[in-house]
Chains A and B, each alone.
Chain A
Amino acid sequence: MTNKLLTNVMIFDGTGKKSYPGEVLVQGNRIKKVAKGTDQIARNGAEVVNGEGATLMPGLVNLHGHLGYADTATLSAIGEIPPEENTLITMYNARKAIDNGITAVVSGASSKPRMDIVIRNEINAGRIPGPRLRAATPQIVTTGGPWDPRQLHMHHTSFELIADGPIEMRRVVREMIREGVDIVKLALSGDGFIDHTPEGTMTYCEDEIAAACEVAHSRGKRLAGHARNDTAIRACIDHGITFIYHASDASEKTLDALEKVKDKHYVVPAIGILYVTLNEAAEWGISKEWALSHRFDREIEKACATMNKMLKRGIRVTPYGDYGFAWNPHGADNRDLEHFVNLLGLTPAQTLMSATKWGGEGWAGSDPVEFGLVKEGFLADLLMVDGDPLADITLMQDRDNFLMIMKDGQYHKAPVRRRAAQRKRAAAAAE
């Protein structure tokens, strides 16, 4: 494979620093060289891609993906989709994610036990397109926990695995490790959607959490926790649950504890689902009235305040999460970047740093893989974007703005000309 030399680009390198004009040489699956200015890197037979001033940046990383979720209008409707169809839907969602510039995903729960695993393996075998994927279990929940869809008179299944007691928890986690998961997801707290287990409640007991963590950690697997309240966040910290999802309500004491171990955790609030549930879900039977009666306004307010406190303490907070429902569908994930700017008050540069540098760190964990920065030696997961996302973060929401999508040194989307350039050329041809 010939080297690829990306020239005449504005490099946003993922660190949050200002973009600079430069060139990037890709050799094999890695970034071989990064240079400031033009004509700095010897051509030496490399395939030269002229970026025409477009922005070059690291691929986006979602630390809270649900590729198996099927954009259904209710949470429990996912269970009605059989495994065969769900496999195909997950495959399409994987393609959609990388089409939108997301080159790596840590799953925050699969829709069926083997779904993430199968799609990860198929992507890794090169048979279908998709991002680097860390495969997760379904939500592991208690009887009566969020997303326990069963009724006493009738069997139902949704996207959950039910485990009660430390022994059953052990068995369920071991079973999923046998199948090949990377991430074990526990539904620790309740949720605003669930009347019998709202967001302020805790659903798992200490011995059950400890059992899951003991088994997972003994095999080098990481965990993720659905943790909306202070107790659940504390449990994540105490038990070493790497990915803390939502984390809306953290006390100062909990923040102190988290700050102390901030190198071990990632917080992913999944602001998007709260925003759309509150503002855009009426078509799906979720009225403003319903959302208010389920405290989604308060949840988003608390979450934004908490994220700001965390960021000030240097705790890594990253965007994305909970895309995969009808009112918050796959492909809209990059709205989360806008939410980070508008609702959390981060700068676009901070937001993109968290979506790339921090995302890459989160995906890698203790594995010796390095991506998320435009930096020599890092894996060549790169995007070329038409325009300046630091000036307009919303341009990430139109996938046609991705002029090139590269994963592991290979094009998912081969370079296309900038649209402005195309327009100019078309205008010139017309004259």
Chain B
Amino acid sequence: MANKLVTNVMIFDGTGKKPYLGEVLVQGNRIKTVAKGKDQIARDGAEVVDGGGATLLPGFINIHAHTTYLDTTTLASVGDVPPEEATLQAMHNARLVHDCGFTAVISAAASKPRLDVVIRNEINAGRIPGPRMKACTTQFVTTSGPWDARQMHMHHESFSTVMDGPVEVRRKTREMIREGVDMVKIALSGDNFSAQHSDEHSVTWAEDEIAACVEVAHSRNVKVCAHARSDESIRLCIKHGIEFIHHATYASEKTLDLLEKHKDRFWVAPALGAIYATLHEASDWGMDKEFALARHFDREIEVGCQTMMKMFKRGIKVLPYGDYGVAWNPHGTDHRDLEHFINLIGFTPEQTLMMATKWGGEAWASWGGGVEMGQVKAGFLADMVMVEGDPLADITLFQDRDNFLMIMKDGQYHKAPQARRAAGRKRVAAE
């Protein structure tokens, strides 16, 4: 394979520093050289891609993905879809998120037990397009936990696996490790959506159950993530070493102190988009403002944003994305989360993009194996996107996938370089 030399691009390297004009040489699946300025890197037979002044960034990393969720209009109706159709739709979703510039996703729950595993394997085999993927279990929930969809008189399936007691937790965790997951997801706190029996302030798992899950997972280099909205559930994540803390809305100062002490071991993803969409945009799907307010989605987003800023100031790693994959917050709109991080929390575009790339890459690297990704830096994996325009001036441009002029994963084009549209328009105008 010929080397690829991407020239004449403004490089946002993932660290949050100001973009600079430069060139990047890709050899095999890695970034070989990064240089400031023009004509700095010898051509030497490389395929030269003239970026025409577009922005080059690391590929996006979503650490709270539900790639196999099916954009259904209710959470429970995911369970109505049989495994065959779910497999095909998950495949379509994987392509869609890759089309949107994501080059790696860490799953925070699959819609069926084997679905993440199967799609990850198929992508890795090169038979279907998609991002790098860490495969997760379904939501592990206790009886009466959020998304326990069963009824006394009738069998139902949703996207969860129900278990009670440490021995059953062990067995289910082991079963999914046998099937090949990289991650186990536990629904530790309740949720606004299941407020009737387990609201966002509750904890739905007993400590011996949490310990059982973490013990088995960590013994096999499998990581654990938790749905954790309540203060107590966040504290339990820290205590038991649950690396990925999702939502983390109601962390008290005491919990923040504790988290700050161990901040290198944890990643937090609030998944603001789903809350925002539920509060403001879900009436088409039967969730009007009244429904959302009765379930305190307003407070959820307000407190969540405050908590995220507090965490960030303490150096705790807070990352965008999460919970895309339902009808009112569908796959492919994930980059709205970047806008939420700026508009709702108050992060700068530089900070937000650093979180979505550098920090995401560090989270991915936590599995070990010497993987380096998430930055435009020599030696790092060549996962990069080239975008039309300056995202630091307008973060919303990521929401239009046509603005992605090139998408590269592992040194290979998912989307081969295209001329800038502005350049294209100019050319058309000249003719």
Which B residues, 62 to 101, have Cβ-Cβ distances below 8 Å to chain A? 82-88, 91-92
Residues of A within 8 A of B127 (CB): 88, 92
Cβ contacts under 8 Å, B128 to chain A: 88
With both beta carbons as reference points, the residue of chain A lying nearest to B117 in the complex is identified as A84
A157 to B28, CA, bound (A): 43
Given known pairs A88-B118, A88-B127, A92-B127, the reply for A83 and B84 (CB within 8 Å) is yes
Q: Is A186 an interface residue (CB 8 A)?
A: no
Q: Contacts of A87 on B, CB cut-off 8 Å?
A: 83-84, 87-88
The residues in A between 115 and 160 inclusive whose CB is less than 8 angstroms from any CB of B are 115, 118, 121-122, 127-128
In the complex the two chains form, what is the Cα distance from A122 to B118 in whole Å?
19
| Interface SS majority for chain A | helix
A91-B85 Cα distance, complex, nearest whole Å: 11
Interface residues in A88-107 (C-beta closer than 8 Å to B): 88, 91-92
**Min C-beta distance of B272 to chain A, whole Å:** 31
- Given known A85-B118, A88-B128, A92-B127, contact A127–B87 (CB-CB < 8 A): no
Say yes or no for A316: interface residue by CB 8 A criterion: no
* Contact pick for B92, options A82, A112, A118, A127, CB 8 Å: A127
- Contact between A118 and B88 (Cβ–Cβ < 8 Å)? yes
Q: Is the CB of A114 within 8 A of B88?
A: no
Q: Are A83 and B122 in contact (CB under 8 A)?
A: no
Query: Is B269 part of the contact surface with A, judged by Cβ < 8 Å?
Result: no
Q: Could you give, for residues 275-304 of chain A, a 1 whenever the CB lies within 8 Å of some chain B CB and a 0 otherwise?
A: 000000000000000000000000000000
B259 at the interface (CB under 8 A from A): no
In the bound complex, CA of A176 to CA of B92 (Å): 27
| B115 on the A face (CB < 8 A) | yes
Is B91 a contact partner of A88 (Cβ separation < 8 A)? yes
Q: Is B92 a contact partner of A84 (Cβ separation < 8 A)? A: no
Alpha-carbon distance A87/B87, docked complex (angstroms): 7
Interface centre among A92, A118, A128 (most CB of B within 10 A): A118
How far apart are the CA atoms of A128 and B91 in the complex, in Å? 11
Assembled-state Cα–Cα distance A127/B92 (Å): 9
Q: Which residue of B lies closest to A112 (CB)?
A: B84
Could you tell me the distance between the alpha carbons of A118 and B86 in the complex, rounded to whole angstroms?
Answer: 10
- Chain A, residues 34-61, CB within 8 Å of chain B (1/0): the string is 0000000000000000000000000000
**How would residues 297 to 314 of chain A score, 1 for a CB under 8 Å from any chain B CB and 0 otherwise?**
000000000000000000
Q: Chain A residues with Cβ under 8 A from B118's Cβ? A: 82, 84-85, 88
By a CB distance below 8 angstroms, the chain B residues around A114 are 82, 84
- For B87, give its contact among A83, A92, A121 (CB under 8 Å): A83
Interface contact A88-B92, CB-CB below 8 Å: no
Say yes or no for B265: interface residue by CB 8 A criterion.
no
Minimum C-beta distance from B223 to chain A (A): 23
Q: Which residues of the partner chain A approach B88 to less than 8 Å between Cβ atoms?
A: 87-88, 91, 118, 122, 127-128
> Is the CB of B114 closer than 8 A to any CB of chain A?
yes
Taking CB atoms, residues of chain B closer than 8 Å to A83 are 83-84, 87
Q: A79: shortest Cβ distance to chain B, in Å?
A: 16
Return the contact of B84 from the options A115, A127, A128 (Cβ within 8 A).
Answer: A115
Q: How far is the CA of A122 from the CA of B85 in the complex (A)?
A: 8
A334 to B: closest C-beta gap in Å: 24
Q: How far is the CA of A83 from the CA of B113 in the complex (A)?
A: 12
Assess the A118–B85 pair: CB atoms within 8 A. Answer: yes
Nearest CB in chain A to that of B119: its residue: A84
How far, in Å, is B116 (CB) from chain A's closest CB?
10
Q: How far is the CA of A318 from the CA of B393 in the complex (A)?
A: 65
Nearest B residue (CB) for A91:
B88
Question: Chain A residues with Cβ under 8 A from B87's Cβ?
Answer: 83-84, 87-88
Q: In the complex, which residues 324-339 of chain B have their Cβ closer than 8 Å to any Cβ of chain A?
A: none
Q: Nearest-CB distance from A132 to chain B (Å)?
A: 18
CA distance A122 to B112 in the complex (A): 20
Complex contacts, B86 vs chain A, CB 8 Å: 84
User: Who on chain A is nearest to B85 by CB?
Assistant: A118
| B84 and A82 form a contact (CB under 8 A) | no
Instruction: Select from chain B the residue with minimum beta-carbon distance to A127.
Output: B92
CB distance from A10 to the nearest CB of B (A): 37
Q: How far is the CA of A91 from the CA of B87 in the complex (A)?
A: 11
Give the distance in Å from the alpha carbon of A83 to the alpha carbon of B84 in the complex.
Answer: 6
Q: Mark out the residues of chain A between 192 and 217 whose CB falls within 8 Å of any chain B CB in the assembled complex.
A: none
Contact with A along B100-124 (1 / 0, CB 8 A): 0000000000001011001000100
Contacts of B112 in A (CB 8 A): 84
Q: Mark A residues whose CB is within 8 Å of B.
A: 82-85, 87-88, 91-92, 112, 114-115, 118, 121-122, 127-128
Return the 4 tightest CB-CB contacts between A and B, nearest first.
A118-B84, A84-B118, A84-B87, A87-B87
- Given contact pairs A83-B84, A84-B118, a sample of 19 additional A-B residue pairs in the complex whose CB atoms are under 8 Å apart: A82-B114, A82-B118, A83-B83, A83-B87, A84-B84, A84-B86, A84-B87, A85-B122, A87-B83, A87-B84, A87-B87, A87-B88, A88-B87, A88-B88, A92-B127, A118-B84, A118-B85, A121-B85, A127-B92
7 residue pairs of the A-B complex, CB under 8 angstroms, read: A84-B114, A84-B115, A85-B118, A88-B87, A88-B91, A118-B84, A118-B85
